[in-house]
Structure formats: structure tokens, C-alpha cells
Structure 1
Amino acid sequence: MTIDSLPAEPASATVEVTDARPHLDYYLVGGRVPGTTVEGIVVEEFTRDRDFTTTGLDSAGWTPQAGWWSSASLSRDMRTDPEVLARVVPTTRQEAEDVYRALGGGQLPDETLLRTHFLNHQPIASAPPLRLGPAQPPAGFHERRVYRVLFAKDLRAEQVAALRTAWRTPEAGTSAAGAGASAASGRLDEHGDQFTWDLRRVGHTLAWGLDVTALLATDATVSLGSTVSELTNVLRQHGLIPVTTERFS
């Protein structure tokens, strides 16, 4: 199963959805911002409930001066403090490795070792799924689930256009205007299961939300989690910072 996507750069790519444990998320502190240099890196991983909703966040930061340290407050500030948001940029492990080496850290540890630096867990409150939409799934499906992934930071117009192209968003699919209108959408059919998603501004346009609807005809809970994870990563590649994953049904 694949999800067509584009990285932060203009070149297109195809993201493979696998059953493996998701990789860690990497961020640069400073860098890519005019007039700044890279100060360090941040590594993060969300903890999740069995239904893939977010229950917490683990993180660790590294700078040449302080080495590795863990701070839940830094992860909170990365999502709420405008000054910190402006200085933090999502990146790939490959770029994090290059930065780590260039700043004198040597070889970036593997992800198993990086997780040992997660010492300050940040719990994220969760609640039973809210009911959004019909209670019963359409004929031919045994379950309907709706998730919303919230993101901090913003997208430029050209990044939204790139997502529309990558996800093959139909022109009529985003014709609505105003608050809550879909900016980009996509669809994936896999072994009888159907996944559809819409990206829109939420919270009075202060954040972005990705709404994912899964219609399940099989016992596809693993692929469901992988799909939500890969879609989240596509938006990280475009510069957004995930905040939490909620379930509506």
C-alpha cells in the first residue's frame, strides 16, 4: 500500500506504508531560517493508545554545549510559543545525522539508543471517541472511524498546492470557502478498506487539522495506524509540527 506524497522540496516521492514501528521525528533548532545557524536537534516520539490516539510525547534535545537532555517543556513550547515555533524546523534523520556530525557529535545514535534519552514524558489527555458522523458504517463495511491530527505552524500557498497535486485532489473537492473548508484532500483504497482525508484550517485558522475517515471491510487496524502515521509524516515533511491525534468515532 502506498500514499503518494511530496517532501518539503519540490521533487515528488512515494511513501511506502509498512507495519514497522514508526521512526522517530527529527527537528532542527535554528537553521533554514534567514540569518540563523543550526544550534542543535530535537528527537521526538508520540505514545499512543491501542486505537492510535495520542496519550503522550517523549522527546530529547541535543546541543554541542549541553549534550543530550530531556525536557517536556521544550516540546510544549515547540507547539505553543511563536518564537520557538519560528526557530524549529522538521527534518529527516539523514539531515539530522549530517547536522549532528557537523556540530561535533560524531555518529548519531540509532533510534533504540536515542529512546534512552527520553527521560521527561509529557502526558497528553485523551477522552473516549466523540461521535462525528453516522453511527453505522455504509453497507459493505463493518466499522467507520474518524481521526483528526492537529498541527502547529503554517503552510505556504505553494505547499498546499503541492499537497493537492500529490493527493490528486479534485478541483470540485475543495470548492467550498470559509472557515473549515478543505484545502487539500485524498483517497486510498486498499483490500476493500477505504481511507479518505481532508486538510483544513481549524481553531479560528490558528492551526491545521487533518481529518482521516477509515471505512473498514477487513481487520485492517495495523494498516489504519500506518496510514494515519504516514499522512502525518507527509505534513511534517511540508513543515508542520504534529500536536496530537484525536478520534471522533
Structure 2
Amino acid sequence: MPGFLDYILLPEADGILVEELVLAGDGTATGLDSAGWRADGGGWWSSAAYARELRTDAGLRGRVVAVRRREAESVYRRLAGAELPDEATLRTFFHDRLPLAGSPPLVLTSPQPPDGFHEVRVYRVLFAGDLGQDSLPRLREVWRMALADPRERVVGTAESRVAGDWFTWDVRRIGPGTAWCLDVTARLGSGSDAAVRPLLRELTVVMRAEGLIPVTIERFS
């Protein structure tokens, strides 16, 4: 099932990387598609190895910049003298998928739905990289986060209600300078999970704007 395209400027802004998490029906990630283009020629290329390196090599990751499509369009127009292909065309350049571990939800606990809710799910959205000095204050402002217990490496919690669904999430540090995650609890008010994927996407976009690179989306319950 299609996910959403993300855009990254390659080192020294000499090219563009386009990525898309491949999502299962419940919003978990099963793979990562990517395609890159550089100004020095050769056309579009696709490399699972490069996508993996971007997430494991802090030096490389520190030289790329996550941007929105309009910024990628501007760079491509300047370097290529043409318009960046539309998203349907960009997807045709995905030839080397990076598989992500796909398995049934890892049930750590069996949460009971609160009164008035149909189901409870727990997701983890994992990101590579580190947040800048000003990132946490911005996140706290954007999400109106409450401070949490730093001993648990949770720097803040937030919530949102969408129709009859109630979402809460923790911003958690995985390791110093290594990774961060969002632990998202979805309390669904009906049998529909239509709000889950848009909410996960919205949260991911905010974290990308702070320089983090999405790695995967897992489901724990």
C-alpha cells in the first residue's frame, strides 16, 4: 500500500533523494522505496544500500537535509533546468526496495479499551539522528506537550482527538545522538482505523522538519 513521498537534499545540495515508506493496511512499515538524482548526470538511480547507509552513517546523515517538495522542486529546477517529475512518475524510479522487518504486532501488553472505545493500538515511529538544541522547545510548542519523566528518556507527551478516536504520544530518546521515536497510543472509537495513518503521517512530518530521518513504523499491540 502506498505511503507518502519524502524529499531529501543530498550532500552539498548536488542532488535529490526521494523516499517512501511502504505501509501495510494497519499503518506499519514493511519496506522503504527510494530514488536519487544527481546533477553530475546518470539519470535517476535506486539503491537500498544507500537508503540503509543514510540511516546508519551519522556522518552522511549530517550532510543531508530533509525538505518539502516545493524546496526539492526549486533545487531540481536550478540544477536540471526542468520541472521535478510528479509523484506518480517518481514512483516509477523505485527499483531497489529496502525490506523492513514485517511481522505480526508484538504484543507487549494486552491493553483493554477504555469505556467508549473499540480498540487500543500502540505504534512506534523510529527516527535516525538527533534533535537540535531548539527542536524540543519547538515540539513542545507545536504539540503543547506536557513534560514527562526524563529517567524514562521521555521528554514530553501530547494528545489529539480525531472524531471519536483519542491519540496520545510520547517523544522518547533511544540513545544519545543516535535515534528518537514517537510511541503513539491509538484508542479507536469504532471499528474504523481511518484516522491512524494520517495521524502517523502528520507526526512524522513534524519530526522530519527537525532534521530526523524516518526509519520504520512498528506496531506493538
Fold agreement, TM-score > 0.5 = yes
State the partner residue of 2:104. Answer: 128
- The code of the aligned residue for 2:195 comes to S
Q: Deviations over 1:68-115 (max 9, x none)?
A: 111111100110012211111110100000000111241000000000
State the distance in 1 between where 2:4 and 2:111 align.
Answer: 34
Report how far residue 189 of structure 1 moved. Answer: 1.2
Q: Is the 8 A contact 2:67 2:209 kept in 1?
A: yes
State the partner residue of 1:93. Answer: 69
Local SS of the residue matching 1:233: helix
Shift in CA distance, 49/143, structure 1 to aligned 2, threshold 3 Å: same
Report how far residue 22 of structure 1 moved. Answer: 5.1
State the distance in 1 between where 2:153 and 2:119 align.
Answer: 26
- Aligned residue-pair number: 219
State the distance in 1 between where 2:167 and 2:85 align.
Answer: 35
State the partner residue of 1:177. Answer: 150
Q: Is the 8 A contact 1:64 1:105 kept in 2?
A: no
Aligned-residue CA RMSD (Å): 1.6
State the distance in 2 between where 1:53 and 1:218 align.
Answer: 20
Local SS of the residue matching 2:131: coil
Shift in CA distance, 223/61, structure 1 to aligned 2, threshold 3 Å: same
State the distance in 2 between where 1:105 and 1:54 align.
Answer: 35
Matched ranges for 1:74-89 at <5 A:
74-89=50-65
State the partner residue of 1:8. Answer: none
1:67 aligns with 2:43: yes
Matched ranges for 1:9-28 at <5 A:
23-28=4-9
- The code of the aligned residue for 1:29 comes to L
State the distance in 2 between where 1:161 and 1:134 align.
Answer: 34
1:153 aligns with 2:129: yes
State the distance in 1 between where 2:155 and 2:29 align.
Answer: 24
State the partner residue of 1:4. Answer: none
TM-score by length of 2: 0.93
- Structure 1: unaligned runs, 5 residues or longer: 1-20, 31-36
State the partner residue of 1:29. Answer: 10
Report how far residue 203 of structure 1 moved. Answer: 4.6
Q: Deviations over 1:199-249 (max 9, x none)?
A: 110156621010000111123412111101110111011110000000010
TM-score by length of 1: 0.83
> Identity of aligned pairs, percent?
49
- The code of the aligned residue for 1:155 comes to L
State the partner residue of 2:180. Answer: 208
- Return the match for 1:52 from 24, 27, 35: 27
Q: Is the 8 A contact 1:55 1:126 kept in 2?
A: yes
State the partner residue of 1:168. Answer: 144
- Return the match for 1:226 from 185, 198, 207: 198
* Mean Cα deviation higher: 113-122 or 195-204: 195-204
State the distance in 2 between where 1:243 and 1:203 align.
Answer: 15
State the distance in 1 between where 2:118 and 2:87 align.
Answer: 37
